Structure 1
């Protein structure tokens, strides 16, 4: 093993200008990550310097409904915490040979929304709270739980210091690897259910929030693979009176951060409330633990049971951010972040209301 360890830790930058680029993309389920590596002649600092690549997309697990090649477009570069040196991780999105985004390429539409001049002017910031569960590989049971049994009821675990076996080492390694990669990971903590953890990515602006979260997920997948544990983004990995896993998204615009931003926050909440049903596919509404029921939209001050929460420090300052609590742990950050920006900046609610009134008139 020592020889293998030495080879894995080789720093190619000491002996060659060649660089290994690990291309990463989203697979056919919309949640699984795929990757492959290629050799570059030297260091690069911008995705535009990287070659477009491809893979066989005829396998429905890789790209549903596609025949032939899928074209990979490099979109964001991060330092590779595994190979180190000048080696890089490259977040890509996929297209058909005709140039159309494949079904799991949600980045393309998100980038279009984030490139709108009105959105750019508002400088949307995000902090995404990614919750996940670590499972034993042999029995698919949460780390730190008695094998075949249950721990004490929820209460003492949130932000607690408890024996998580390999869990804490995995979390700490992921934290440092993300910082090395250049991901703005801002926080980690143990969650309410034992064996469940959270990391936060941000503040990140616009499309970069999605890029950073997806690459942070990739790094965590690699670390858990090496540690011999299973990573789950299942919103409800354990049934019963146990908290689910969320992907809550904190959001602010320049108008919300400026003096008097409380009014902009209020308007943003109203708009999201009108369109919230469009985000049902990305949510985890049980109504018992983390947020309001699927059929209910609520917002509240420092409320853990609301669809949208506003912190007390934001209320007191009169400006700041809102917390969108509806998304689940397996949400696509490109979809969620662009939905929020479009709804609060670009969407015109009176069009929606006029259509609704007209429709009621038609159907009686």
Structure 2
């Protein structure tokens, strides 16, 4: 890597951080990605990417690799977790691709991360550095200095904080804390041959009920079946939030008691060794200061109910790239124009994700009747509920 010109420094080597690095490299500027872990990788299971994300992946030149390992579901299907009846569906086939310019795909998070990491490794503009727990970020005299806990110092042109929900870089702008939703998720993928068939296994299924849902879809070329079980814990308190005394596997079994046979069967397969408490944060009105800015979950962590977390990080990467193209060496202006567009957009998605969580988890008879009546009376080619999210079109073409 050429070190004569100070690089952009990206803190965090997750999906958003690597995509940001690829975008900056598109502008022929050098990038150093600092990852806290001893190696680059992803945990978790499946990930859904709507067209607003796959359009960015096409732009970054990695979609051919994604196509080799992803699954292209035919429909997104909402099911009643108790009656087992279909409530509504969205056609994800040719009509979807023609409408939005890119496909809806599902894949394993680690597969997506690997494709992005390999693209970064092959770029002459990008350097990946591990074992970097960042403890200080300082801007001074037109450059930034980032210090790691192990004593390493990195001097660069600018810093992009992409260090996720528990971001340290965010503390440069606001002293807020993640907000616990009182929901937990259990995730896992099992071999496809172990799956009890229901409908079309190429579809994405979301089974919904009061304070609970289950998501199912195939990943890794259809070799694995990804499942995510989510429920609200009645055992949660502020005092025990940081413990494992709420949202336990035993509580999961109680919450899902009475659901239909297919849901019960799915619960029996879910991995129970690890649970993921679900957090977001409130939107903020500024995440840029001089040559420092935020991206992805560091800027706008959101609940998973719209499957838009990674999608928004990819939108960030593309729009930030456009602003760097537009503003040349004026990094401060590029960062300001980037957040001017992205703050309202991501705040809307954050608050919408919370709202859709309330809708799908509704506990009142009146609310459930109203929701189900609306869903049952729409067609699978009615895209009005997703247009705002999947149809974002400001990041597709190089500036």
TM-score (norm 2): 0.23
Higher relative contact order by CA 8 Å / sep ≥ 6: 1 or 2? 2
